[in-house]
């Protein structure tokens, strides 16, 4: 490949970056890459160079759309949602056979000490949270990426096989999305976000586990693919809805935020009403349940109030004096 062809190859790869970035830094960056290639005696770009240009160019485009604070909030939402549901799935689904009645046993070919191979995605998500709590930010990101890859692989493998204990694809869709969101930024960049993540994730996990156990009847066999209110499919679907709504709200800019609050917060009543419909037991047998209307009214009022607050205070700040960059 001639030098002209090499330059054309690099210019094509640089199109991954925004036009404004190329106008400021493109020629200088191109010159550096050409000098490096000449010094190494190469006549074409390497695969590693092209991959890095694509990834960093895509990141530059994302940074233009989503500023750092918004990406950090989205990462916090993914971390909280993923960790909380991983705890729920581990207790009710994977470890449930050790303490829940009518559970799976060795005849059902469980996955070692766990119940299904889905435990791989759950454990990786919880390990990423633990690494984040220990200040190992790079390790946490690697584990989140591994959880995304594991969710995709497990969805494909279990989808083309006939496992003894089925896991609904929505479970892997949720954990893939939640862990991907966690990679968007630094979920613990500020003290406020650190408290939200490190306190909110375990508390939410314990709360949903307890309420789901009360509504699930106590049998593990009705959790994986069960026909009742609380199952792996329904919990994953409701959680996915909530995480997507929260991420869209966090991604909204100052001008769009009041309208996002007005539209998105009332929509949260749909998954919430399903998740806690029979809180306290099975409403069909006479125990007290929380009716959907309660959530519809509450979320609608919260949407209006939040929209008014966002309109009066368009800059939502999560900053603090001890804010620090990712390690």
Of residues 312 and 145, more confidently modeled: 145
CA distance 64 to 54: 16
Kindly tell me if the per-residue pLDDT of 305 is higher than 80: yes
Both tokens of 90, joined, read: 């581990």
Using DSSP's 3-state secondary structure scheme, residue 123 falls into helix
CA distance 105 to 192: 44
Segment holding 88, helix H or strand E:
helix 68-88
Kindly tell me if the per-residue pLDDT of 243 is higher than 50: yes
pLDDT band at residue 107 using 50, 70 and 90 as cut-offs: confident
Q: Give residue 279's pLDDT.
A: 60
Average of per-residue pLDDT across 67-87: 93
Q: Give residue 218's pLDDT.
A: 67
CA nearest neighbour of 136 among 124, 128, 148 = 128
| pLDDT 10s digits, 163-183 | 888 899 999 999 999 999 999
Q: Is the dihedral of CA 129, 130, 134, 137 positive or negative?
A: negative
The CA–CA distances, whole Å, from 114 to 94, 143, 309 equal: 5, 20, 46
Of residues 267 and 110, more confidently modeled: 267
The CA–CA distances, whole Å, from 232 to 39, 92, 184 equal: 56, 9, 26
Kindly tell me if the per-residue pLDDT of 322 is higher than 80: no
Kindly tell me if the per-residue pLDDT of 221 is higher than 70: yes
Q: Give residue 278's pLDDT.
A: 64
Q: Give residue 325's pLDDT.
A: 45
Kindly tell me if the per-residue pLDDT of 226 is higher than 80: no
Average of per-residue pLDDT across 272-280: 74
Kindly tell me if the per-residue pLDDT of 275 is higher than 90: no
CA nearest neighbour of 298 among 267, 252, 277 = 267
| pLDDT 10s digits, 18-73 | 888 888 888 888 888 888 888 888 888 888 888 888 888 887 887 777 777 889 99
CA distance 185 to 189: 9
Q: Give residue 327's pLDDT.
A: 38
CA distance 65 to 115: 42
Q: What is the mean pLDDT of the chain?
A: 86
pLDDT band at residue 266 using 50, 70 and 90 as cut-offs: very high
Please answer whether residues 145 and 184 qualify as being in contact, where contact means their C-beta atoms are separated by less than 8 angstroms: no
CA distance 169 to 207: 24
Residue percentage of the chain with pLDDT more than 90: 45
pLDDT band at residue 223 using 50, 70 and 90 as cut-offs: confident
Q: Give residue 283's pLDDT.
A: 46
Which of 139-153, 229-243, 306-320 has the weakest average pLDDT?
A: 306-320
* pTM (predicted TM-score): 0.79
Kindly tell me if the per-residue pLDDT of 324 is higher than 70: no
Kindly tell me if the per-residue pLDDT of 154 is higher than 60: yes
Q: Give residue 319's pLDDT.
A: 47
Please answer whether residues 173 and 236 qualify as being in contact, where contact means their C-beta atoms are separated by less than 8 angstroms: yes
Q: Give residue 1's pLDDT.
A: 54
The dihedral region occupied by 140, where left means phi > 0, alpha psi between -120 and 50, and beta the remainder, is alpha
pLDDT band at residue 273 using 50, 70 and 90 as cut-offs: confident
Which of 72-76, 192-196, 250-254, 281-285 has the weakest average pLDDT?
A: 281-285
């Amino acid at each position: 490949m001639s030098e002209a062809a090499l330059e054309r190859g690099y210019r094509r790869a640089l199109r991954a970056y925004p036009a404004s970035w190329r106008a400021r830094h493109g020629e200088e960056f191109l010159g550096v890459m050409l000098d490096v290639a000449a010094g190494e005696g190469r006549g074409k770009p390497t695969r590693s160079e092209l991959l890095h240009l694509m990834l960093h160019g895509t990141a530059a485009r994302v940074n233009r759309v989503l500023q750092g604070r918004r990406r950090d909030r989205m990462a916090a939402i993914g971390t909280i949602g993923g960790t909380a549901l991983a705890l729920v799935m581990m207790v009710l689904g994977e470890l449930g056979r050790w303490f829940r009645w009518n559970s799976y046993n060795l005849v059902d070919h469980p996955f070692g000490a766990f119940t299904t191979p889905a435990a791989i995605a759950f454990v990786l998500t919880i390990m990423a949270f633990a690494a984040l709590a220990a200040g190992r930010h790079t390790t946490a990101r690697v584990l989140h990426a591994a959880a995304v890859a594991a969710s995709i692989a497990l969805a494909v493998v279990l989808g083309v096989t006939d496992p003894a204990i089925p896991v609904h694809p929505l479970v892997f869709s949720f954990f893939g999305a939640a862990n991907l969101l966690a990679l968007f930024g630094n979920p613990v960049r500020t003290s406020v976000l650190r408290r939200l993540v490190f306190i909110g994730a375990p508390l939410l996990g314990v709360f949903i586990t307890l309420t789901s156990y009360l509504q699930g009847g106590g049998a593990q066999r009705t959790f994986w693919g069960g026909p009742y209110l609380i199952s792996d499919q329904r919990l994953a679907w409701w959680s996915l809805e909530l995480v997507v709504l929260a991420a869209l709200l966090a991604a909204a800019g100052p001008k769009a935020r009041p309208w996002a609050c007005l539209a998105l917060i009332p929509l949260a009543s749909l998954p919430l009403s399903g998740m806690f419909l029979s809180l306290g037991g099975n409403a069909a047998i006479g125990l007290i349940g929380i009716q959907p209307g309660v959530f519809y009214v509450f979320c609608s009022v919260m949407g209006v109030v939040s929209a008014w607050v966002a309109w009066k205070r368009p800059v939502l700040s999560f900053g603090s004096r001890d804010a620090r960059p990712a390690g």
